[in-house]
Amino acid sequence: MKIPHVWRRLRRSLRSTTPARAGAAVVILLGALVTAGTAAGPAQAATQGPCDLYAAGGTPCVAAHSTTRALYGSYNGPLYQVRRASDGSTADIGLLAAGGYANAAAQDSFCSGTSCVITVIYDQSGKGNNLTQAPGGGAAPNPDNLANATSAPVTVGGHAAYGVFIPQGTGYRDDHTNGIATGDQPEGMYAVLDGSHYNGGCCFDYGNAETTNHDDGNGTMEAIYFGNIKVWGYGSGNGPWVMADQENGLFSGVNAGYNANDPSVNDRFLTAIVKGGPNQWAIRSGNAQSGGLATDYSGPRPNVNGYNPMHKEGAIILGIGGDNSNGAAGTFYEGVMTSGYPSDATENAVQANITAAGYTTSTSAGATGELHAVGAGKCLDVPNASTTAGTQVQIYDCWGGTNQTWTHTSSDQLTVYSGSSQLCLDASGKGTTNGTKVVVWTCNGQSNQQWHLNGDGSITGVQSGLCLDVTGAATANGTLAQLWTCSGQSNQKWSLG
């Protein structure tokens, strides 16, 4: 345990965060110390995970899901299962070491040359609350899609991993759970999400839902919601917001409606928390890379019939609403559900554990240079320095021109100066299917112009989850770029700078 290193890191984190998100310094120090050592060695793990901290606080995990890391210091089982398209075979993806990080290389090897979907997200708590393909429900009668296994590459603790990328129509569920709160029983939950991937659809949730897959009335759910829908509750700014889905309402505060204290949050990695007990519930949120948690709401239940007492049913959902409303989008990395109402101090320690885990992307905002197509040995190029919106980009011999010089911005745009015009890399027509053209367009801040530059060299579109791809793996000048299912092949590897 490298305590001096952790102490220096903690002091920098506390100096760089606002008081509202600083949390309790003593508790954060405790959480940081028990997670020290994440950078020591190729597979070194935290000595404790979030669920060890919840247990120490008297509110043990009853479900623990992650595709990126162990959530207990001693866990050494599978994190998730993938199924490949070529032959329908499945494989469990485990850890590099007990209590450590996902063995992404095992997935890469198993899925090489084909595509894979995530079929199971295993419960690490030992209670068997595994998440699998969501069946049809009242809002959408057919089973939901499964997530592409490579659409959310990420780096955690210096190790490659994959999150769960959920576009519209995709969702996971467990209707037959063990130990999840029912009725008015107290519980807590957190999720680490991609704060830049969201929409205004209903409903990107993680948490407690109906076992019937239908809307069973007020108070039959208690789940984390993330997005910018304003049909029910909403917070300050334009969103997105962390809110609570308590059925027939997304609540940002005591009632459906506006809560000025629930801020818009768009941290690249976001910690979202909801907890609830008899006539008491809270929302908390924070940056999953640094700093503490803010309390966005803490108070009584909605003063509408059905919410006090609650009527929770104890299913678990991910990416959908309780009645299988599947019009939302988001990305999930890890999350848990607890028995009992966790204290703020326990959650502060968990937040310190999350920030110490080291979620990151490989290329920082502000990086500028040629965008090299690794497999072709050429550069991403705006043909003839065109200033026409909709021009499809290509690969071409690198020569250092402005039409080959790209900047990765803090809002995940890739900008280029072509002629005298600044343009953005854009998924044409907001396409989300294989073969969608990748073009330049006037910058507008929409999600089809946001790109994640990942630790494995891939570049994924935030809206689609597909990879920036050199068509046909060709190497000739003038070969066009497109979106395609991430495959790990060299024609989807890029280097900026």
261 & 405 share domain? no
Mean pLDDT of 9-14: 35
pLDDT of residue 488: 86
Mean pLDDT of 372-384: 92
436 & 472 share domain? yes
Lowest-confidence segment of 355-364, 433-442, 462-471 by average pLDDT: 355-364
Which of 360, 395, 417 terminates a domain? The answer is 360
Among all residues, which ones are annotated catalytic?
A: 247, 323
Give me the number of domains the chain comprises: 2
Other C-beta atoms closer than 10 Å to the C-beta of 135 total: 15
> Which distant-in-sequence residues (6+ apart) come within 8 Å of 274 by Cβ?
188, 189, 207, 222, 223, 224, 242, 244, 281, 282, 283
Mean pLDDT of 415-444: 93
Residue 319 sits in a domain of what CATH number?
A: 2.60.120.200
486 & 423 share domain? yes
pLDDT of residue 421: 81
Concatenated DSSP letters of 22-60: T--HHHHHHHHHHTTTTTSSTT---SS-HHHHHHHTT--
Greatest mean pLDDT among 25-29, 219-223, 441-445: 219-223
d(CA 354, CA 290): 9
Q: For residue 420, is pLDDT > 80?
A: no
Question: Largest Cα–Cα distance in the chain?
Answer: 67
What is the band of 113 on the pLDDT scale with cuts at 50, 70, 90? confident
pLDDT of residue 450: 93
Concatenated DSSP letters of 100-157: SBB-HHHHHHHHTTS-EEEEEE--TTSS---EEEPPP-SS--SPPBPPBTTSSEEEET
Half-sphere exposure of 141 (CA within 13 A, CB side): 0
What is the band of 96 on the pLDDT scale with cuts at 50, 70, 90? very high
Quote the domain boundaries for residue 419.
368-496
Q: For residue 23, is pLDDT > 90?
A: no
d(CA 454, CA 412): 12
pLDDT of residue 188: 98
Positive/negative CA dihedral, 28, 197, 131, 94: negative
- Global pTM? 0.81
- Inter-helix orientation angle 344-357/25-34, to 10°: 50
Q: For residue 45, is pLDDT > 50?
A: no
pLDDT of residue 251: 97
Mean pLDDT of 56-76: 98
383 & 329 share domain? no
Rounded to a whole number of angstroms, the CA Rg of the chain reads: 22
pLDDT of residue 363: 61
Q: Let me know: does 184 contact 309? Beta carbons within 8 Å.
A: yes
84 & 184 share domain? yes
Which of 360, 380, 398 terminates a domain? The answer is 360
The larger pLDDT score, comparing residue 112 to residue 46, is at: 112
- Average pLDDT of the chain is 89
333 & 376 share domain? no
Q: Read off the amino acid at residue 212.
A: T
385 & 320 share domain? no
Q: For residue 4, is pLDDT > 60?
A: no
221 & 278 share domain? yes
Q: For residue 46, is pLDDT > 90?
A: no
Mean pLDDT of 326-355: 98
What is the band of 365 on the pLDDT scale with cuts at 50, 70, 90? low
Map tokens 């910018």 to a residue: 228
286 & 385 share domain? no
pLDDT of residue 482: 98
Q: For residue 246, is pLDDT > 60?
A: yes
Q: Let me know: does 135 contact 143? Beta carbons within 8 Å.
A: yes
155 & 304 share domain? yes
Half-sphere exposure of 151 (CA within 13 A, CB side): 32
SS3 content of the chain, % helix, strand, coil (to 5): 15, 35, 50
Using a CB cutoff of 8 Å and minimum separation of 24, what contacts does 362-365 make?
Answer: 362/155, 362/453, 362/454, 362/455, 362/457, 363/408, 363/453, 363/496, 364/408, 365/408, 365/409, 365/410, 365/412
d(CA 138, CA 363): 42
448 & 317 share domain? no
pLDDT > 70 in the chain, percent: 90
Residue 476 sits in a domain of what CATH number?
A: 2.80.10.50
Q: For residue 489, is pLDDT > 80?
A: yes
Q: For residue 177, is pLDDT > 80?
A: yes
Which of 334, 360, 386 terminates a domain? The answer is 360
> Which distant-in-sequence residues (6+ apart) come within 8 Å of 183 by Cβ?
309, 310, 311, 312
Q: For residue 256, is pLDDT > 90?
A: no
The larger pLDDT score, comparing residue 380 to residue 364, is at: 380
Lowest-confidence segment of 15-19, 181-185, 282-286, 422-426 by average pLDDT: 15-19
Mean pLDDT of 98-122: 94
pLDDT of residue 14: 34
213 & 307 share domain? yes
pLDDT of residue 454: 87
